Structure 1
Amino acid sequence: MAHDAHHCCWSVPGETMNPGKTASGENRWRLVAAALADPRRLHLYARAVLAADDGAPLDPAGLTSAEAKSLAVLQQAGLLDVRENRVAPSPAVFRDLLAAGVRPPDSSARRFLVSGRVETYPRKRADRLELLHFLAGEVFEHARPPEPGLRPVLTEKELTTRLAKFTADPASIRRYLVDEGIVARDASGTQYWLTRPRPAEGMEFA
């Protein structure tokens, strides 16, 4: 019967969704788009929105069998809701879809990079230290010790070459690493090694 149709679960072609569960992310977008792609469902959705706006919402008991099926699909997509035998649009679905597409800002040291490179050196010392620790960890990640049991070292040329992948001024960054005590060098200035490990994720830099 038409008035019982809103209690059923109808699937949008190509989509699978359990009753009572809500899709998220890309699948949610596809579910909404698929629900409105059918002209009959789109027409019913428009009728429901206009009727609710006029203060005379649709009564599901007055829908045809085909319209009841369309209503079930629109409900499943979160576009329409049935309350007290009245069909009501659910505009929150669009707000939720937009919110789901917003990515939180990157809080890692990579936020200082543009296309993987340092374009501007941070002004705040805490930010500079965070960036320097990140760069040091990156360039020394695959450094090898001169002998088993010794600390990994890089020559000045190796360190400069690796830093050049991140900055147009590797010599200055190399000097900053030494000045901050993150990297040390021997008396001749030919070998460099990491003296301070990169802080764990989430630790503050001071």
Structure 2
Amino acid sequence: MDQLLAALADPERLKLYARIVLQALPPREEDAPTVRKHLGRLISAGLVERRPDGSLTADASVFRRARPAEPAAAGVPRRLTGFFAHGRLTSIPVRPVVRRELLEHLTETLFAAERSYTEREVNEAFRTVHDDTSALRRYCVENGLLVRERDGSSYRRVTAVSG
């Protein structure tokens, strides 16, 4: 629930969400840098989904399914809090064990296990927490947390994570 509210807290993002709900967002506007940034946040929060044909859709049932976060489970794991400020990742851990823990946290919170994502969608999701999307994407693939199709057309979250 907190993630949904945080995603809609920004007035510009709220307006963008309303335009998507009303199907009033021309496709050409999606490429504007500020729109892409806000769109990535809406997608990662589960408020907006990109259909296979590239169009955007908003499903209001996400609000019915949302549950208030449990205090212990909300947010970032305690060991990783020093890497975040104001909801954004400030640095990627150098130590492999800590970096892996961070990547596991990001993939579990940003990507649904049952669907495929285009590279653009992966970048939009990662951009909500950090600007170096290519590094995060590469680390997730190297650590076996995201699987990239051979032709590079899509990525999938790996559900069985081995420590």
Question: What interval of TM-score do these two structures reach, taking the shorter chain for normalisation?
Answer: 0.3 to 0.5
Give 1 or 2 for the bigger CA radius of gyration.
1
TM-score by length of 2: 0.48
| Higher relative contact order (Cα pairs below 8 Å, separated by 6+ residues) | 2
TM-score after normalising by structure 1:
0.38
